[in-house]
A and B are shown apart, each in its own frame.
Chain A
């Protein structure tokens, strides 16, 4: 006997994500989900971003890693509230799911912030599939990776709303074809904004920060 089901496999996660979205919106908080492969410079990018944004928009960070609290310790030095999630000390989940975010948010004073940045687990595959209740998704791609990453991980680049091309100070020393990389991003996601930055040298942050502030303000003025 065949029993019709027709249910989205991730429907439980998706409905919690939708509850998160309503919850954060009611609190007046804009949520950014930042993703990338390991080592592309998400934490360094956030360190520089938070220092520059703190006097404009009060922010907090939820940082996900399989193990260690190293990233949280780095980010706390920017005087930003940080909650660290470890999925498992010995090799746990490769992505953050919606229910984990809601629980972590309980440790933050949401009434005193306007921007919540979620640094997802370094991985270009799994986090792309899981809605966590964010308003915007971003992906960091560094020039020490291949310029074909967008073609190898098209779902990630398709679901994101912007890309940060990091480590551009290293371009003179690499064979990385920057124009080709941006073409590849746009083959997967035409017209996606791409900001060229160097987190270690603090280059290119003005345009990126201005755009981020505009996106946060637009949410609450529309």
Chain B
């Protein structure tokens, strides 16, 4: 539901990232990381982004979205677990003393541009 707001933030970051000495460049691809434990639906984000990118240097740009899985690190047994649903506990020792190694990313990683 808030994908439009996320899309607008991406738009600002992309505009900031185009070097000021490069006029007339076209943004071909925007590489994103949207972790599995975020409240963002990639399909909805692409839909919103297509709407706001009209009449911009990134009209028609491809949103290339990598979705990192949810990986936990256990502070008790030092093992990693990849999980797809709760419980958010270590698969090895069942401890809840865990940290998220991946799955919470909301990142613009890079943009790919071409000269006119």
Contacts and interface: CB of A to CB of B under 8 A. Distances in A.
Contacts of B18: 3
B17 A9 contact: no
A158 B9 contact: no
Contact of B38 (A11, A94, A129, A151): A129
A154 B111 contact: no
Contact of B96 (A2, A4, A123, A190): A190
Contacts of B38: 129, 155
A126 B9 contact: no
Contacts of A8: 106-107
A209 B14 CA distance: 46
Interface in A176-206: 184, 187-191
Given A126-B1, A129-B38, A151 B86 contact: yes
B23 interface: no
B62 interface: no
A95 interface: yes
A3 B111 contact: yes
B108 A93 contact: no
B18 to A, nearest CB: 8
B12 interface: yes
Interface residues of B, number: 32
- Is chain A's interface secondary structure helix, strand, loop, or mixed overall? mixed
A188 B2 contact: no
A189 B107 CA distance: 25
A126 B2 contact: yes
A6 B109 contact: yes
Contact of B114 (A1, A94, A158): A1
Contact of B88 (A11, A93, A97, A158): A158
B88 A10 contact: no
Interface in B16-67: 17-19, 32, 37-40
A2 B107 contact: no
A126 B106 CA distance: 14
A150 interface: yes
B12 A154 contact: no
- Give 5 nearest A-B pairs by CB, closest first: A190-B96, A187-B87, A126-B2, A187-B86, A9-B106
Interface of B: 1-2, 5-6, 9-10, 12-14, 17-19, 32, 37-40, 85-89, 96, 106-114
10 contacts: A4-B110, A13-B9, A94-B1, A151-B86, A154-B37, A155-B37, A155-B39, A187-B86, A188-B88, A190-B96
